[in-house]
Structure 1
Amino acid sequence: MSQLEDMSPKAVADALNVGDILLIDVREANEYGLERIPGALLYPLSTLDPKAIPVGGPKRVVFHCAAGRRSAMAAMRCQDEGVNVDAHLAGGLGAWKEAKLPLIETDPLTGQVKGG
């Protein structure tokens, strides 16, 4: 099994901005609907099929979740099935927000989307 790389929020943001990575959010749909990183795709851990992860293309796949635990679990599940995902956002969405990086948020009372 490959060592899992803990990428900092800034490293992930920089890589996203230049198109070097494909960021995959492994939280659940309701979490993703409330707040998400612009450009992140949703593949919930609860239904994750490692064979469906688009590896092997020009972009490195990086997972993220709320705090870093589920993204590490998702990477391990992929590696166990021979799918090369070896990086995640250290500290997850919490660290991303702490770093004051762009976020898309939905107001649960109005459905209004803001940010990005």
Structure 2
Amino acid sequence: MADSRDLKPQAILDGLKDGTIMLIDVREPAEFGNERIHGALLNPLSTFEPDAIPTDTARKIIFQCGSGKRSRMALDKFMAITGKDAAHLEGGIGSWKAAGFPFVKINPATGQVVDNGHY
């Protein structure tokens, strides 16, 4: 049975397009700097502060990491501390990229930003 807090990439893309979600990337700054989903905000799990995430907004909080493990940990911690509902991107940015959705990355050979499209 699937958990309703484990969202597929398409649900995240739809929410980003219509402005109904706030995407929080819980990877480390270097990971975020190397590649990220457009519009994601950084709040690394290593220094995670659930109370720093605004919950007085109409947007649903969605956590994201590389594979889904850290984002699930952040989700559980966020809900335990704030009492607010949230979800996470199942499979992380890996599943996002596998779905062919746009992201920004740094070309390691040139150091140039590569933007493969917006949603």
- Would the TM-score normalized by the shorter structure come out above 0.5? yes
Q: Which residue of 2 aligns with 1:89?
A: 89
SS of match in other structure, 1:22: strand
CA 1:86/1:110 → structure 2, altered by over 3 Å: closer, same or farther? same
Q: Among the aligned pairs, what percent are the same residue?
A: 46
User: How far, CA to CA, are the matches of 1:103 and 1:85 in structure 2?
Assistant: 26
Tell whether the 8 Å contact from 1:55 to 1:83 is kept in structure 2 after alignment.
Answer: no
Matched residues, number? 114
- Say if 2:100 is the partner of 1:103: no
Tell whether the 8 Å contact from 1:4 to 1:86 is kept in structure 2 after alignment.
Answer: no
SS of match in other structure, 2:24: strand
Q: Deviations over 1:1-52 (max 9, x none)?
A: xx76111101100110111101010000000011100110111000011110
Question: What does residue range 31-70 of structure 1 map to in structure 2 within 5 Å?
Answer: 31-70=31-70
Structure 1, unmatched stretches of 5+, are none
How high is the TM-score relative to the length of structure 1? 0.92
Tell whether the 8 Å contact from 1:62 to 1:85 is kept in structure 2 after alignment.
Answer: no
Aligned residues: CA RMSD: 1.4
Shift >6 Å, 4+ stretches: none
Cα deviation, residue 81, structure 1: 1.0
SS of match in other structure, 1:10: helix
Cα deviation, residue 83, structure 1: 4.3
Tell whether the 8 Å contact from 1:26 to 1:43 is kept in structure 2 after alignment.
Answer: yes
Q: Which is worse superposed, 70-79 or 3-12?
A: 3-12
User: How far, CA to CA, are the matches of 1:105 and 1:43 in structure 2?
Assistant: 18
Structure 2, unmatched stretches of 5+, are none
How high is the TM-score relative to the length of structure 2? 0.90
